[in-house]
Structure 1
């Protein structure tokens, strides 16, 4: 029986090689964020005095392939990017596009009038204008400083 000495540095070297292999793969930045193996559209939320502007990046999709639902407190978006079928007899086809279903729930910082939402979809960017509920626009809270200093 041969005695083999354990070298803890060998384990670290193996881990480092595996990480290097992972990052050496060719990767192209994607328009969506990956959560749990599913890509979701990138979102940008901006609050103004009267409304909330929500911008979603959904390139390469048509408006009919998107399902957008708005409640007073959140926006739900789902859709499916379908793969175009190509038949090639010679050569290899390589695709870095993501195909499949996605869904995302975006909570809103204030309540909105979900019956008055306007949408604009152009060049793969969906812009939702979500007007705030009237009570949220004029919401002012008075702070009593007399009791705070006691």
Structure 2
């Protein structure tokens, strides 16, 4: 069994999703409840034999406002969605968009070569290709079967 480092941000994200799902079908808008919770980008991790593919959903954020750091065991991403300043003489503006800073640490299931990571950012989707280290590619685990004693 692999040890996974505890990530408190994942717990907060899970709690936020559970609260949002409770109020999806009610009259009370969920934005009243989650406006003070930390927003983190949704992620999708796919593992193949040689690489890990990580996709992050980052709509409305410029590439220059992102900071991505990769270690052998995790991906750290932080950024900021900046608010657009608008001035109107008449009327009010109601916005449910979230503006502000975010950060997320995503632990990886295998050690990677963090010097060979490639990234592609298009239409608000960040794609990271994380090649596995040679030790992980050739890793073989022996399984011992114990014979029952009669």
Task: State the TM-score, normalized to the length of structure 1.
Answer: 0.76
Over 6 Å off, 4+ runs: none
- What do you get for the CA RMSD once the two structures are aligned? 2.3
Instruction: Note the C-alpha offset of 1:25.
Output: 2.6
Greater strand fraction, Structure 1 or Structure 2: 1
Match of 2:61 in 1: 61
Shift of 1:50: 0.2
Structure 1's unaligned 5+ residue stretches are: 1-18, 29-33
Report 1:1-150 matches (<5 A).
23-27=26-30, 37-145=37-145, 148-150=146-148
Find the residue that maps to 2:39 and give its secondary structure.
strand
Measured after TM superposition, the shift of residue 124 of structure 1 is 0.2
Q: Which runs of 5+ in 2 are unaligned?
A: 1-21
Deviation at 1:144, TM superposition (A): 3.1
Computing the radius of gyration from Cα coordinates, the structure with the larger value is 1
- Per-residue Cα deviation, 1:72-131 (whole angstroms, up to 9, x for no partner): 000000001111111111111111110000000000001000000000000000000000
Whole-Å separation in 2 of the counterparts to 1:89 and 1:38: 32
Normalising by structure 2, we get a TM-score of 0.76
- 3-state SS of paired residue (1:41): coil
Structure 1 residue 143: Cα displacement: 2.1
